[in-house]
Structure 1
Amino acid sequence: MTLGLGLDSDSGDGGEELPGGPSRELPPGWAWATLKELCDVNPRAFDDDPGDDDFISQVPMASVEAETGRIDASNHVRYGDLKKKSLTRFQENDVLFAKITPCMENGKIAVARGLLDGRALGSTEFHVLRSCGAVLPEYLMHYLLQRDVRVNAEQNMSGAVGQRRVPRPYLESLEIPVPPLPEQRRIVGEIEQQISHIEAGETAIASAIEQQLPLRESLLDHYVLGLAQERDADSLKSLNERQGKKIDYRSIIPLPRGWSWRIAQDACTLITSGSTPQSPLMYADSGEIPFLKVYNISKRGFVDFSIRPTFVDKETHEGSLKKSRVAPGDVLTNIVGPPLGKSAVVPNEYPAWNINQAIVAFRAGPDISPAWLRYVLQAPYVIGLLTKTARATAGQFNIALSTCRELPIPVPPRDVQEDLCSALAKSLAEFDSQHASVEALVRQSAGLRAALLHAAFTGALVPQNPADEPASALLDRIRAARLTAKAAPRKRAPRKPRPAPPGQGELPE
């Protein structure tokens, strides 16, 4: 994937670093200016107030796309119904900057476009930037969308964890490089043309990812259920003799001849869920006993303890967390989702491990290999049996430990398990290799965006024109106009006559 300008994903690593880089040198005609000099920050009113019966766009935070600068302004409400609520007012061409975590870090920044009658009410978590004429809204939006800018803003957030916000004074003091207006137009035009090419590539990548996942899932079901072989009703014999409280065994499909369905608590020697100790008993990065959380279990079936590693001490492991101890060879799966089906075999990197409350551990009995059990717990058919029993709260699935103990597990002979695991591992490795290639394209796409924006705001994207009026001249005029407006006496609105108190009006003639 190329931009057509000789840019590549590494070009953002050299040259000037903006913002906050070591060099303040700018191309000819450019100037530094703060957002307070360039914009009205959080103006409280419209240029033209609508009437109470006029309809107006409503733009909540969810209506702003991440990273794209696009908004959905299709929801319209009567102004009089909402004007007394503490919603943010903005209008066409204002720049919206999400100030709360994680929306700001995700790049929910946009130019307000397509508003009904040019006005909108939106989330109180927007900062609104209204250009005073020296900076184009689109130029400002693309500058703020840079990851370096957002990382710097994140470092200056204030407030409690989970509710941190970018303070207005920080945003007002943020300096940006300002080219002449004609050059800004050339820069914005080139950015938007190149981003259209990048987005076309990203659409193709997303399509590839969407096609890969169903194929991988169908492959797991194909091997785990033996779908290529003839069905045998005798494989259901053990289920016919049991009645599940959570799972309907009558709906289970037959398996091939020689296979059988086994209830998990019969096929495993241990099935246990984890628990979580108090925060002071958990240690980051180093300790005695590794403590696994769901994010340490990869969707591809392995434990990744490099992600925010957490430890507990041996006393806690043997004491309050005694029931959640696991060992190498145990098979883990998450019981809180989505997504469900994150299953992995505990590695022998440490002799003992512990798990949190969102994970269940299965210790395979003599008839099942851990590798086979891991694939079973990843198979969509088996995950579907669990999902049907899940309690859903705010879009989150929660699987009970008792359900895991009732889970039917397909069990072929051990030699068949080994052959199928070997074949499945080879096939999945091919899928994972393809997926890794797609992920590399995703990273390249992000690098191309960064390189494009870096070139744009260091003067390397489009040529300068010496005939363009320098940005400093326009900025000087705007500063002078603001000083004049500030010095002019404010006109007071005529005082409204007070109504006469009851009983003190004019006497009748």
Structure 2
Amino acid sequence: MSIRDEVLNAQKIPLRHLAELNPRPVSIRQETSVYLPMEAISEFGPADTSRRRPSDELQRGYSYIADGDVAYAKVTPCFENGKGLVAGHLPDGHAFATTEVTVLRPWPVLDKSYLGWHLQSESFLSGGAASMTGSGGLRRVPDMFALTYKIPLPSLATQRAIADYLGRETARIDTLIEEQQRLIEMLRERRFALRVGVALRGTDQAAEVESSLPWANELPAHWRVVPLTSVARLESGHTPSRSREDWWQDCYIPWVSLHDVGMMRGVKYLHDTAQRISDAGIANSSARLLPAGTVVLSRDATVGRTAIMGAPMATSQHFAAWVCGPELDPEYLWVLFEDAMQPFFDSFQNGSTIRTIGMGDLKAFRIPLPPLDEQCRIVEFLDEETSKIDMLIEEAARFVELSKERRSALITAAVTGQIDVREAA
């Protein structure tokens, strides 16, 4: 009988008859044991076992894992991302993990690696996601789902043959994915270096340079360095009273707020916003309606996110805005903010603490100012060259996504008998 036929004809048995759920620890003699928080657990790859905690502490309320056990993350989004591990060669032979994992200890009839592949199959992941309880980021797969989940149980030899096949084939796919991910990272670095280099040197890289700004070591000698406020009008925003519902309902004026920061990454023009306000809201607050072409910059939270207003808009107090005068192209200022000045914006963050860029800081901004026609050439050149790199990044990202889909489909096909792994090897 082929492996395919054996799997297809094998009896499907609930996991509660094949594994022990969340086994309790045996007597731990070491003073410390390995601790596995969620970030130490990968997608069924090697776990980071470098963290240790007192064993007495870990035995009270943490998930116990010993060599030979199989565990999977049960909380969203870690479950959907396929986080888990097949435990083997753990320091001291055991570890304690976050309580957000479910641990299964296979009985002798069930191979641990075969079980691990089933936990990565589409049928297990989709079924687990559908069974989740809770709300928002606290949704979890109930342990009862694992106990009632049925898997075909061919002979141990067949289970190991399937596990060995998937180990080999997914390793090949993973290698290709890693190569493309390295390519994407290299392309992103090249993209950033290109944009910074051209923004601060122009399209003529042979031009004579001189040092002028702390965050721009070399600028063309014929460029000016000016206070930004000398070529653009600085504006700040405000939040109208939330107690006046009529200022926020059925409104038409786009209002840039922290809700829009996420969509600003790499986006030149902002054409709409998550929230809108009314004329009355503007009239009864310090918010101002600013013209299309105004460049906005986030002052706190995610410091340095920027975009150009694609229509007249107002902003919250979390943003600064510049209405550019005739000497400054808004798209060139956006390039400076988006790329060249990011190291400068990073200086406003100290470790995990981010301080607001105050009005004094904003008024002190100094920028390089090429002649207007050169600003336009820089923007046009960067648009063209950046689009080429972005296309390569998109192609590599599509390859990664298709490879991940192929990997998932291969796992599902192998563990459910849709392919004969002996013939496919």
Q: What is aligned with 1:383?
A: 342
Q: Is the aligned partner of 1:371 residue 2:331? A: yes
Q: What is aligned with 1:451?
A: 409
Q: What is aligned with 1:12?
A: none
SS of the counterpart of 1:312? strand
Compare 269-278 and 361-370 and name the one that shifted more: 269-278
Cα separation, 2, equivalents of 1:279 and 1:73? 51
Alpha-carbon distance, 1:304 to partner: 8.2
Cα separation, 2, equivalents of 1:367 and 1:459? 69
Q: What is aligned with 2:357?
A: 400
SS of the counterpart of 2:105? strand
> Gaps spanning 5+ residues in structure 1: where?
1-24, 237-248, 466-509
Q: Are the aligned partners of 1:273 and 1:360 in contact in 2 as well (CA < 8 Å)? A: yes
Cα separation, 1, equivalents of 2:131 and 2:21? 17
Q: What is aligned with 2:145?
A: 170
Q: Is the aligned partner of 1:332 residue 2:296? A: yes
Which residue of 98, 116, 138 corresponds with 1:141? 116
Q: Given the two structures, how large is their TM-score scaled by the length of structure 1? A: 0.70
Which residue of 19, 23, 37 corresponds with 2:17? 37
Distance 1:250 1:126, change over 3 A: closer
Q: Are the aligned partners of 1:317 and 1:325 in contact in 2 as well (CA < 8 Å)? A: no
What value does the CA root-mean-square deviation take over the aligned residues?
3.5
> Gaps spanning 5+ residues in structure 2: where?
none
Distance 1:330 1:26, change over 3 A: farther
Cα separation, 1, equivalents of 2:201 and 2:47? 48
Cα separation, 1, equivalents of 2:386 and 2:231? 25
Alpha-carbon distance, 1:192 to partner: 0.8
Alignment map for 1:120-135 (pairs within 5 Å): 120-135=95-110
Q: Are the aligned partners of 1:390 and 1:399 in contact in 2 as well (CA < 8 Å)? A: no
Which residue of 377, 394, 397 corresponds with 1:419? 377
Which residue of 57, 82, 88 corresponds with 1:107? 82
Q: Are the aligned partners of 1:294 and 1:359 in contact in 2 as well (CA < 8 Å)? A: no
Q: What is aligned with 2:208?
A: 230
Q: Is the aligned partner of 1:181 residue 2:156? A: yes
Q: Are the aligned partners of 2:300 and 2:357 in contact in 1 as well (CA < 8 Å)? A: no
Q: Is the aligned partner of 1:72 residue 2:36? A: no
Per-residue displacement from partner, 1:378-424 (whole Å, max 9, x unpaired)?
Answer: 224x1112211335436xx4541433443222111111111221112
Cα separation, 1, equivalents of 2:50 and 2:22? 23
Q: Given the two structures, how large is their TM-score scaled by the length of structure 2? A: 0.82
Q: Are the aligned partners of 2:7 and 2:153 in contact in 1 as well (CA < 8 Å)? A: no
Q: What is aligned with 2:67?
A: 92
Cα separation, 1, equivalents of 2:275 and 2:123? 32
Alpha-carbon distance, 1:188 to partner: 1.0
Q: Are the aligned partners of 1:33 and 1:176 in contact in 2 as well (CA < 8 Å)? A: yes
Which residue of 390, 396, 399 corresponds with 1:441? 399
Q: Are the aligned partners of 1:55 and 1:77 in contact in 2 as well (CA < 8 Å)? A: yes
Q: Is the aligned partner of 1:199 residue 2:162? A: no
Q: How many residues align?
A: 409
Q: Is the aligned partner of 1:50 residue 2:55? A: no
Q: Are the aligned partners of 1:386 and 1:404 in contact in 2 as well (CA < 8 Å)? A: no
Q: Are the aligned partners of 1:73 and 1:114 in contact in 2 as well (CA < 8 Å)? A: no
Cα separation, 2, equivalents of 1:319 and 1:138? 66
Cα separation, 2, equivalents of 1:321 and 1:205? 50
Which residue of 31, 40, 43 corresponds with 1:63? 40
Distance 1:354 1:101, change over 3 A: farther
Per-residue displacement from partner, 1:61-107 (whole Å, max 9, x unpaired)?
Answer: 22111x2433123445553x435532221211211121223322332
Q: What is aligned with 1:156?
A: 131
Q: Is the aligned partner of 1:258 residue 2:222? A: yes
